[in-house]
């Protein structure tokens, strides 16, 4: 059995947009609901206590009004007594649901009347007749106490008499519970209804996405027309716009590929037709009994030449496909441009000698001579140099000169590659056109596929470099000397940082000349 893949390598679980939005809407609701219950309980307790506190305060003031204070002197303490009849005291204590207690203390803290066990407040006496409340415990029952101090007697060493009235909390709790029930119970009905409405509204809200999905699924595979942005919500319009942009770029790419394939098939017809014609001609001569070695040799030479052209075109097509499909996410590598230029020149020396062209190299012999490091794809850079040198050899007449040159930038910003020839040059009006696939300058009888410079342009853009085409010599002086102005191809590569290649869009309508 295969071992379980590490957690970081497992595919990320697909999430539901509907479920995620629903979670983010309901999670706060379900989190706030218990907080709402707690706050409702606190508010209910406060609301329930207010009327009972008012009644309790009125009882305390009633008892205070029945207290009689007879001021004394230093020798004779003040006399404090309660004028509350026994029957009234019993009525004060009588309540169907609550236990009510009261207490009166004298100026020296002595017990005057009421319940001895009622606790005394720990605070200092407040101003006379100022009513206060506190929560306390009496006989293991929680009680609410209303208390106030009477006017001081004025005798030194005596305090203000204290009046307290307390009652248990049963009625308060019952009232708070009724308030909670009246508020919370409806929420048990409202909350599920709210969840259902949220679910329905959310399902209704994302319905346009489902309709957009169906519209896309119903499309034919070759239908790359833009989607209508009028039938989608405003929030989805940017997504539809991005999809339309992608469809447009995909349509341009597919159209360019179709043109490229059609042009490639058309260009391959010529060498293949030549191969077939020369083979049929040689076969007819053999069938006719003609055994002329020279004629057969010419046919074989033509077959070899046509096969060479076809092989060269196929190799360039593969090179262009490789340049376009190069994985741009691969890390850039250090590239020894001078070494690649020297190797390319050595590889083309036999072809230059066959055409009697002086092929040379100018530049540093050691990579350390450059001031910076060129980072890129060595295979693609080698292909770029090969196509530039091969193009120069194709268009340079016998006796001419082709020079590959590598120059350093004195500021260490770029490294320059130049390929110069003594051919007919490229008119300024055609210097952009020659970079398109299958385009060849008019007025030349040179065999070629028209792909070499297109491959160069592709590689240059993938490396974030700059390509310029110019005359090697002024046209006036070159014509006076009876030679062509030549072509000077200059490529400037940035040094010291990884290449930041940009995807190169194929020409919109590359057609062969």
- Predicted confidence at residue 9, as pLDDT, reads 55
Using DSSP, state whether 359 is helix, strand or coil: strand
- Predicted confidence at residue 488, as pLDDT, reads 93
Supply the CATH number for residue 259's domain. Answer: 1.10.287.130
- Predicted confidence at residue 291, as pLDDT, reads 61
The verdict on 370 and 444 lying in the same domain is yes
Quick check: 449 and 312 in contact, CB under 8 A? yes
Residue after which a domain boundary falls, among 177, 200, 232: 177
Using DSSP, state whether 368 is helix, strand or coil: helix
Using DSSP, state whether 36 is helix, strand or coil: helix
First to last CA, the chain: 61
- Predicted confidence at residue 442, as pLDDT, reads 57
The verdict on 338 and 291 lying in the same domain is no
- In the chain, what's the furthest Cα-to-Cα distance? 167
Residue after which a domain boundary falls, among 177, 205, 240: 177
- Predicted confidence at residue 269, as pLDDT, reads 63
- Predicted confidence at residue 328, as pLDDT, reads 46
- Predicted confidence at residue 1, as pLDDT, reads 43
| Residue 395 domain flag | yes
482: its two tokens: 């009876």
Range of the domain at 513: 328-513
* Cα 45–chain centre separation: 50
* Alpha helices (H) in 396-495, listed in sequence order: 452-462, 475-480
Q: With the C-alpha atoms ordered 128, 131, 136, 138, is the resulting torsion angle positive or negative?
A: positive
The verdict on 504 and 355 lying in the same domain is yes
- Predicted confidence at residue 441, as pLDDT, reads 65
| Residue 200 domain flag | no
- pLDDT tens digits in sequence order for the chain, 513 residues long: 444 545 455 656 666 667 777 777 777 777 877 887 788 788 877 887 888 888 889 888 888 888 888 877 767 777 888 887 665 566 566 566 678 888 999 888 888 888 888 998 888 888 888 899 999 998 888 999 999 998 887 787 788 899 999 998 888 888 888 887 777 777 778 778 888 888 888 787 778 778 887 888 888 877 788 887 777 777 778 888 888 888 888 887 777 677 666 656 655 665 676 677 777 777 777 777 666 677 667 777 777 766 776 776 677 666 666 655 554 446 778 888 899 999 999 988 988 998 999 999 998 877 666 667 888 888 888 889 988 998 899 888 888 999 999 988 777 788 999 999 988 888 888 888 888 877 766 555 566 667 778 888 888 988 889 999 998 887 766 655 666 788 999 999 988 654 444 333 333 333 332
| Residue where the block lists tokens 């930038």 | 409
| Residue 123 domain flag | yes
Number of domains composing the chain: 3
Q: How far apart are CA 373 and CA 367, in angstroms?
A: 9
The verdict on 333 and 411 lying in the same domain is yes
Q: How far apart are CA 335 and CA 462, in angstroms?
A: 14
- Predicted confidence at residue 327, as pLDDT, reads 47
Residue after which a domain boundary falls, among 309, 325, 341: 325
The verdict on 455 and 428 lying in the same domain is yes
| Residue 209 domain flag | no
The verdict on 302 and 359 lying in the same domain is no
Q: How far apart are CA 116 and CA 103, in angstroms?
A: 7
- Predicted confidence at residue 324, as pLDDT, reads 58
The verdict on 336 and 421 lying in the same domain is yes
The verdict on 292 and 372 lying in the same domain is no
């Amino acid at each position: 059995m295969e071992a379980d893949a590490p957690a970081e390598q497992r595919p990320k679980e697909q999430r539901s947009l509907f479920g995620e939005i629903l979670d983010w809407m309901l999670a706060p609701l379900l989190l706030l609901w218990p907080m709402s219950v707690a706050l409702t309980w606190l508010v209910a307790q406060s609301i329930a206590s207010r009327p009972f506190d008012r009644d309790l305060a009125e009882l305390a003031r009633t008892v205070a009004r029945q207290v009689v204070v007879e001021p004394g002197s230093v020798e004779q303490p003040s006399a404090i007594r309660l004028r509350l009849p026994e029957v009234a005291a019993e009525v004060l204590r009588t309540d169907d649901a609550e236990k009510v207690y009261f207490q009166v203390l004298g100026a020296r803290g002595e017990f005057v009347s009421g319940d001895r066990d009622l606790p005394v407040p720990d605070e200092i006496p407040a101003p006379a007749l100022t009513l206060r409340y506190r929560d306390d415990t009496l006989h293991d029952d929680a009680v609410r106490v209303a208390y106030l101090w009477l006017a001081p007697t004025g005798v030194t060493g005596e305090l203000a008499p204290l009046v307290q009235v307390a009652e248990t909390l049963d009625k308060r709790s019952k009232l708070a519970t009724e308030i909670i029930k009246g508020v919370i119970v409806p929420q048990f009905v409202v909350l599920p209804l709210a969840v259902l409405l949220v679910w329905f509204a959310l399902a209704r809200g994302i319905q346009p996405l489902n309709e957009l999905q169906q519209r896309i699924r119903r499309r034919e595979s070759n239908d790359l027309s833009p989607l209508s942005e009028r039938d989608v919500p405003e929030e989805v319009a940017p997504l539809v716009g991005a999809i339309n942009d992608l469809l447009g770029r995909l349509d341009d790419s597919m159209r360019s590929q179709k043109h490229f394939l059609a042009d490639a098939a058309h260009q391959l017809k010529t060498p293949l037709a030549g191969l077939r014609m020369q083979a049929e001609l040689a076969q007819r001569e053999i069938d006719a009994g003609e055994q002329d070695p020279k004629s057969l040799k010419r046919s074989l030479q033509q077959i070899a030449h046509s096969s060479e052209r076809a092989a060269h075109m196929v190799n360039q097509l593969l090179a262009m496909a490789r340049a376009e499909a190069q994985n741009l996410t691969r890390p850039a590598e250090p590239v020894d441009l001078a070494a690649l230029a020297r190797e390319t020149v050595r590889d083309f020396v036999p072809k230059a000698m066959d055409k009697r062209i002086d092929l040379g190299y100018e530049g540093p012999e050691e990579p350390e001579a450059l001031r910076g490091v060129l980072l890129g794809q060595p295979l693609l850079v080698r292909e770029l140099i090969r196509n530039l040198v091969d193009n120069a050899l194709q268009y340079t007449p016998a006796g001419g000169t082709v020079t590959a040159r590598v120059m350093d930038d004195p500021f260490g910003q770029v490294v320059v590659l130049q390929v110069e020839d003594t051919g007919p040059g490229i008119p300024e009006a055609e210097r952009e056109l020659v970079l398109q696939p299958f385009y060849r300058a008019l007025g030349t009888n040179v065999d070629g596929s028209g792909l070499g410079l297109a491959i160069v342009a592709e590689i240059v853009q993938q490396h974030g470099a700059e390509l310029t085409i110019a005359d090697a010599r002024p046209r006036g002086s070159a014509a006076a000397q009876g030679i062509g102005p030549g072509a000077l191809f200059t490529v400037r590569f940035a040094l010291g940082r990884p290449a930041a290649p940009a995807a190169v869009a194929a020409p919109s309508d590359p057609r062969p000349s």
